[in-house]
Amino acid sequence: MDKFKVLFLPDNKIIEAEKGKTILSAAISAGIHINSSCGGDGVCGRCKIILKKGQLSSQPTGRITSEEKRGGYYLACLSVAQSDAEVEIPKESRLDSGTITEEDAYMLRLKGIYSEVVDIERGESILPEELFIHSPLATKLYLDLPKPNLEDKLSDLERIYRQIRLIQDIPVLQTGLSNIRRLGALLHSSGWKITVTLGKRNGTTEIVLIEPGDTSEKNFGFAFDIGTTTISGQLIDLNTKKILGTKAAFNKQASFGADVITRIIFAREENGLEKLHHAVIDEMNIMIQELARENNVDLNDVTCCLCAGNTTMIHLLLRVDPTYIRREPYVPTANFVPVIRAAEAGIKINPRGLLDCVPGISSYVGGDLTAGALACGMDKTEKLSLLIDIGTNGEIVLGNKDWLISCAASAGPCFEGSGVTSGMRASKGAIQRVKINPKDFKPEYSTISDKPAVGICGSGYIDLIAELLRRGIIDRGGKISQRLSSSRIRDGEYGREFVVAFKEESGASGDIVINEVDIENLKRAKGAIYAGTSMLVRHMQLSFEDLEEIFIGGGFGTYLDMENAIFIGLLPDLPKEKFTFVGNSSLIGARQMLLSHQAMKDAEDIARKITYLEMSVEPQYMDEYMASLFFPHTDLSKFPSVRLG
């Protein structure tokens, strides 16, 4: 079969592309992940590339403007090499990696999480580190063993067991054959001074590792939130509980589809499951290696990893067929996954290190919501609480320590920066706050880390929609005014658009804009969240006024303007004092479980306690959703605080 060499810039990677193979497929083969939220169907227009040399053939598309065509732009998913070629992947088409926020901003955001979470027994507010007993998934214990003699001829392994039980009450201990095979020589060469790593594994305690000498001070673990759109990870010192570093990146599975349904369908294709698995594992391993290197941590000292994620993401992480998640009666293969070797999933920490996953709830409500409910203390408070995780899957949980009920309201990836023209995740250069001057319509904005603007993250879009609505630039249906005159309001390729930042004033490769298609996508996303929340509350025969505290999770940035979120109809119209923005509650919960066996037991109880409400069979859900497709809502009486000119 004929093959052509394709050079990808600026990566300087060359791949031999088989004749007929798309540039998108060739890029993935080269380890370069291009944004393709529609799964390569030519619909989203996010996978734009620039042809520098050679020839490409391409199917017709309305996603490339006339000006872009003259500049050599193509859609990677619709283009095939007809000769050796050089193509450039512009920044806006890439699924990049990097730190999601500055650490100081991250910590500021998390300071208030437990302000209202009360320890019922003590009756006082508690800090995160005091919430659970410190008992990590893997702990290290230094042992100075008595040497055997004629009076004490206990075997080497039993000698270790005996010494451990003198220190800790562990009736059931086990270990692996690989440890036993090297045990005799190791004990004699180390002078009977060793360090054992003890891991909690499926109801027993396992000796995971046996090392010579005292290495007990070097014990590290990773906590991950594997989101549909974003993967976030933290390196934790398991002895001190200190967060050594945080990173986040787009989930490279987006190359195969923006949502879980398209990925489940792709998993049925030849090698589809393998590709989806490696897309997430490879990104996790990059984070692991970078965080370890930046903190001078030897990967052999990383003894465990704990992952939270929705049900589909955990299936794909473990290379488990997710097919039946989307088929009636919508039953996953597993909600409670046993602790395994991280190496079995391809995670590159210590080869004998452990991997645990947060227990899930149902096909469409997973361990990420379990972790969020744990992080917000919903299982420990008497207050009627609500957690809204505004991510791609829009998971919501309502209740208190006595009962919990959840639902999923698929919002799509808009609020995580995907599926919108100038969208990006909450990283450096993302516009996160916006005000619009009512006289000249010039936006005033701030970016994460005060870097030049390169795009708009979730909190920026919420502010932007609210400001466009306040200034009369858009109507309640999301249409941009035809009567206003401004250099920032113009006709674009996809309808009317508003220029947030011109190319000359930003760090982007073109103007940063929002158009009517973007606004429609954001309107649908906010409508799904509000409708799901409303239906969940109504199902329990409650009203929004009954809610005592509301936690908002999501990868928005370093802040969320609750007033603006209410103004556009994303959140119910309640006093701001009831809301707490918790950021990535899934990652917080995962970290707690990594550091505490008690937290994991509580998470298991939460997962078993939560009742799942399937919105697709709720007769009034679609009516509520359709009514939510206005800003803020069709029924303005639901939003008495919103004043529109």
At which residue do the structure tokens 């800790």 appear? 168
For residues 493-510, average pLDDT: 92
Give pTM, 2 decimals.
0.84
Nearest Cα neighbor of 491 from 510, 467, 517, 472 is 517
pLDDT band at 172 (very low <50, low <70, confident <90, very high): confident
Q: Do residues 461 and 552 share a domain?
A: no
Residues 15, 41: one domain? Answer: yes
Does 45 reside within a domain?
yes
Residue 163, both tokens: 């010494």
Q: Give yes or no: residues 550 and 466 share one domain.
A: no
Q: For residue 239, which amino acid is it?
A: N
* pLDDT tens digits, one per residue of 77-98: 999 999 999 999 987 787 754 4
Residue 609 pLDDT grade (very low, low, confident, very high; cuts 50, 70, 90): very high
Is 370 a member of any domain? no
Q: Give 305 or 2, the one with higher predicted confidence.
A: 305
Same domain, 227 and 351: yes
| Choice among 262-271, 425-434, 460-469 with the minimum mean pLDDT | 425-434
CATH number at residue 385: 3.30.420
User: Can you read off the two tokens belonging to residue 253?
Assistant: 């599975």
Q: Residues 62, 15, 87, CA angle at the centre, nearest 5°?
A: 40
Strands 220-226 and 204-212, bridge-based pairing: unpaired
Q: Look at residue 405 and give its three-state secondary structure.
A: strand
Residue 388: give the domain boundaries.
378-413+523-636
Predicted confidence (pLDDT) at residue 109 exceeds the cutoff of 60: no
**493 and 425, same domain (yes or no):** yes
Average pLDDT over residues 327-353: 96
Asked whether residue 241 falls in the same domain as residue 327, the answer is yes
pLDDT band at 63 (very low <50, low <70, confident <90, very high): confident
pLDDT of residue 202: 84
Mean pLDDT across 358-385: 95
Q: Are residues 40 and 159 in the same domain?
A: no
Q: Is the pLDDT of residue 557 over 60?
A: no
Q: What is the CATH number of the domain that holds 160?
A: 3.10.20.880
pLDDT tens-digit profile of 254-310?
A: 889 888 999 999 999 999 999 999 999 999 999 999 999 999 999 999 999 999 999
- From residue 445, alpha-carbon distances to 453, 459, 516 in Å are 9, 11, 21
Residues 6+ apart with CB under 8 A from 232: 100, 224, 225, 246, 247, 248, 555, 584, 587
Domain finish residue from 494, 518, 542: 518
Q: How high is the pLDDT of residue 427? A: 80
Residue ending a domain, among 475, 490, 518, is 518
Here the CATH number for the domain that contains residue 25 is 3.10.20.30
Q: Which residue has the higher pLDDT, 628 or 12?
A: 628
Q: Are residues 395 and 533 in the same domain?
A: yes
Residue-level length of the chain: 645
Does the bond joining 632 to the residue before it have cis omega, within 30 degrees of 0?
Answer: yes
> What are the residues facing 433 on neighbouring strands?
446
- 430 and 512, same domain (yes or no): yes
Does the pLDDT at position 112 exceed 60? no
Q: Nearest Cα to 360, choosing from 350, 370, 374?
A: 370
Q: What H or E segment, with its residue span, contains residue 396?
A: strand 395-399
Same domain, 531 and 386: yes
User: What is the chain's percent helix, strand, coil content, to nearest 5?
Assistant: 35, 25, 40
State the pLDDT at residue 265: 96
- The answer to which of 6-15, 329-338, 365-374 has the lowest mean pLDDT is 6-15
Average pLDDT, the chain: 90
Tally of structural domains, the chain: 5
Say yes or no to pLDDT of 113 above 80. no
CATH number for the domain that contains residue 112: 3.30.420.480
Distance, in Å, from the CA atom of 439 to the CA atom of 457, rounded to the nearest integer, reads 25
What is the band of 121 on the pLDDT scale with cuts at 50, 70, 90?
Answer: very low
| 518, 534, 549 - which closes a domain | 518
Q: Is 148 inside a domain boundary?
A: yes
Residue 274 to residues 86, 314, 317: CA-CA distances in angstroms? 28, 14, 10
Integer Cα distance of 291 and 525 in angstroms? 33
111 and 228 inside one domain: yes
In a domain, 125, yes or no: no
Given pLDDT bands bounded at 50, 70 and 90, which one contains residue 552? very high
- DSSP letter string, 19-74: TT-BHHHHHHHTT--B--TTSSSS-S---EEEEEES-EEE---SSS-HHHHHTTEE
Mean pLDDT of 70-74: 92
More confident residue, 615 or 164: 164
Q: Are residues 228 and 340 in the same domain?
A: yes
Residue 310 lies in a domain: yes
The answer to the question of residue 406 being in a domain is yes
The answer as to whether 127 is a domain residue is no
Q: Is residue 169 a part of any domain in this protein?
A: yes
Give the strands of the sheet with 455-456, arranged side by side. 443-447, 430-436, 455-456
Tokens of 299: 């990967």
